[in-house]
Structure 1
């Protein structure tokens, strides 16, 4: 059975690791420099911790990289720096929410060091939260990753071109996180003008529930770099980057508010729109 390595075993990474472990894979990761929260998530997912990244690269035949978007290239550099005879031909799968150009840059770094590379992206919550996430994959070896014994997640090969899977994510995330940003701003403005109740009655939950807004706030610090990656992706398509540069400013502001201080798994499903507004006012 293929040994899987994880670089970045946070909420999403540990969830993907769990989905593979449930399929029978041995999943390893390093906790060096990671938080107590990450150690807890790794333990709950049943993953096997190793002391250092070098050990992960030596043992794992496939390495999934699941970091915040702004750390994607640093992760690629760290992997490339540890290349050696024991890592030749190992397959690195960049699952980060980055622009196609960033995915291509990551590919250049790791392939120059002797690794294989697959571009990937994730649409949906961690499998430990809700089964069914789509895992978009592209590149000449994408089928190898799709053939792993995934459970609670669905791999989708979108082509053999590195960057295609990331392009899917940039388009879908622009809608999902853009709408959530709009809803969050609408709730904040409505509360400031003391019209929150009629605004929520009019909008309903079609554009986001209070729980979903609070969950987004808990992840806002990650969204900032992702919005900039979307802006870069849209600029490469000949579109203005201004819209998602503005969303980066929105999520930067949200990330500094009290509601953003918790972890995603601790957000209460009972939170109200008023609770969201209050948590973003301070």
Structure 2
């Protein structure tokens, strides 16, 4: 792909349109890029987002592959594998192949950038998917553990046709550090850092595109960007999890005001970070469950902090994943949306909701145990 500023802007497909996806879409649209996504099967809430951001909604994955020069995968970690499988299958569709050839000519590759918060091991397996003709991921127990049933939005069944060469894919590893892009009052953009790694990155992504998205290349190998993202997120989201444990326990013990008083005097930075993290966390907790598990895998696989080194305590971030799972599944905080906050905007309400969730979870577990013992 040409990198000259005089070349036509590449068309960009985004899967999917969550808070980060719509922020990046708005940034790209503001600067004249065509942005596509798949609208079929999405909620009315998401369809409204798509319309408000002036994104073109397509009916199938095949159409997205055909119309996009670059696809950005920005989904919850639990969906990263299934989303890659969707794109991979669409690249083998006769409909997509023919339409893409009409639009770009023969041999034009698609660039697929995985920007999800997954481990280097998962990223490498996804990358391997695009380099093999198989419709299945390489065998991996861990991948099987995070795969999620996904509803494919495919074109109608194609009749028997001569074999066509699948759409070629250049795969890049990425991660997003920071919040979604947003337009400031002075009409400049606040942007996160998009870290990127992989071969031929400078050849397959135009320089204007990477500058606009604030891309920072951290290596030529698949997995480097994912490792950096995991290490960064472990500090920020790990600290929020510790704040959940600390502040909720202080509330339950009746010493929360005293905890805040002592933090204000002896560690004001920690108090400010804890308050911001606790009140900002609720709408995102469900996304962080699998991200914490992927971080744990990164620490084991890349850092060497496995069972042979740390014993049975090696799954520290697997435990943190359960903290966020409690928030998402067993408290009213899990129902929050970024655009329409109702609960958890104050620390006192966050810990109150978590305390109620703990009680409800204990009652549920006790009831399940009673039923098992009775039977």
TM-score by length of structure 2 reads: 0.70
Q: Distance in 2 between matches of 1:245 and 1:59?
A: 39
Question: 1:260 corresponds to which residue?
Answer: 334
1:233 to 285, 293, 298: 298
TM-fit CA distance, 1:26: 0.4
Question: 1:273 corresponds to which residue?
Answer: 347
Does the 8 A contact of 1:146 with 1:156 survive in 2?
no
Are positions 1:224 and 2:232 aligned together? no
Q: What SS does structure 1 have at the residue aligned with 2:243?
A: helix
1:34 to 25, 33, 42: 42
Question: 1:102 corresponds to which residue?
Answer: 122
TM-fit CA distance, 1:281: 2.7
TM-fit CA distance, 1:68: 0.6
> What is the number of equivalent residue pairs in this alignment?
282
TM-fit CA distance, 1:44: 2.4
1:142 to 186, 190, 201: 201
Are positions 1:70 and 2:124 aligned together? no
Question: 1:165 corresponds to which residue?
Answer: 225
Question: 1:89 corresponds to which residue?
Answer: 109
Q: Deviations over 1:231-254 (max 9, x none)?
A: 100001211442101101111111
> Unpaired runs of 5+ in structure 1?
none
Structure 1 residues 26 and 52: CA distance shift in structure 2, 3 A: same
TM-fit CA distance, 1:273: 1.4
1:54 to 48, 51, 62: 62
TM-fit CA distance, 1:33: 1.8
Q: Distance in 1 between matches of 2:129 and 2:348?
A: 47
Q: Distance in 2 between matches of 1:146 and 1:163?
A: 21
Does the 8 A contact of 2:38 with 2:60 survive in 1?
yes
Question: 1:11 corresponds to which residue?
Answer: 19
Are positions 1:187 and 2:247 aligned together? yes
Q: Distance in 2 between matches of 1:281 and 1:252?
A: 14
Question: 1:242 corresponds to which residue?
Answer: 315
Does the 8 A contact of 1:131 with 1:153 survive in 2?
no
> Unpaired runs of 5+ in structure 2?
1-8, 102-107, 134-167, 184-188, 307-313, 357-375
TM-fit CA distance, 1:115: 1.1
Are positions 1:20 and 2:23 aligned together? no
Q: Distance in 2 between matches of 1:108 and 1:168?
A: 20
Does the 8 A contact of 1:181 with 1:247 survive in 2?
yes
Q: Distance in 1 between matches of 2:109 and 2:212?
A: 28
Q: Distance in 1 between matches of 2:88 and 2:304?
A: 32
Q: Deviations over 1:130-179 (max 9, x none)?
A: 82200001111323436243687421011111111101101001101000
Q: Which moved more, 1:150-159 or 1:129-138?
A: 150-159
Does the 8 A contact of 1:137 with 1:155 survive in 2?
yes
Structure 1 residues 107 and 55: CA distance shift in structure 2, 3 A: same
Question: 1:176 corresponds to which residue?
Answer: 236
Are positions 1:124 and 2:189 aligned together? no
Q: Deviations over 1:194-252 (max 9, x none)?
A: 11112123334634253531321221111110000001000012114421011011111
2:215 to 119, 138, 155: 155
Question: 1:206 corresponds to which residue?
Answer: 269
TM-score by length of structure 1 reads: 0.92
Q: What SS does structure 2 have at the residue aligned with 1:32?
A: coil
Q: Which moved more, 1:49-58 or 1:197-206?
A: 197-206
Does the 8 A contact of 1:23 with 1:150 survive in 2?
no
